[in-house]
Amino acid sequence: METRDNARNASDTELTTEDLARTEPEHVSGESPAVYPGEATPEPAQAEEGEQPLIDPADARSYRDRWEQIQGTFVDEPKDAVRSADALVAEVIRSLAETYADHKRELEDQWSRGEDVETEGLRVALRRYRTFFNQLLQV
- Calculate mean pLDDT across residues 47-68: 83
- Calculate mean pLDDT across residues 80-85: 97
Tell me the C-alpha distance between 5 and 101, whole Å.
14
Q: What is the pLDDT of residue 92?
A: 94
Predicted confidence band at 16 (pLDDT cuts at 50, 70, 90)?
low
Q: What is the pLDDT of residue 47?
A: 46
95 vs 4, 67, 78, 102, CA distance in Å? Answer: 15, 16, 26, 11
For residue 131, give every residue at least 6 positions away whose Cβ sits within 8 Å of its Cβ, in sequence order, or none.
47, 48, 51
CA angle 77, 82, 86 (to 5 degrees): 145
Higher pLDDT, 82 or 131: 82
Is the overall model pTM greater than 0.75, yes or no? no
Q: Is the pLDDT of residue 121 over 80?
A: no
Which stretch of 17-21, 46-50, 77-81, 134-138 has the lowest confidence by average pLDDT?
46-50
For residue 70, give every residue at least 6 positions away whose Cβ sits within 8 Å of its Cβ, in sequence order, or none.
81, 84, 85, 88
Domain boundaries, the chain: 52-139
For residue 80, give every residue at least 6 positions away whose Cβ sits within 8 Å of its Cβ, in sequence order, or none.
73
Q: What is the pLDDT of residue 45?
A: 45
- Calculate mean pLDDT across residues 69-94: 96
Q: What is the pLDDT of residue 105?
A: 85
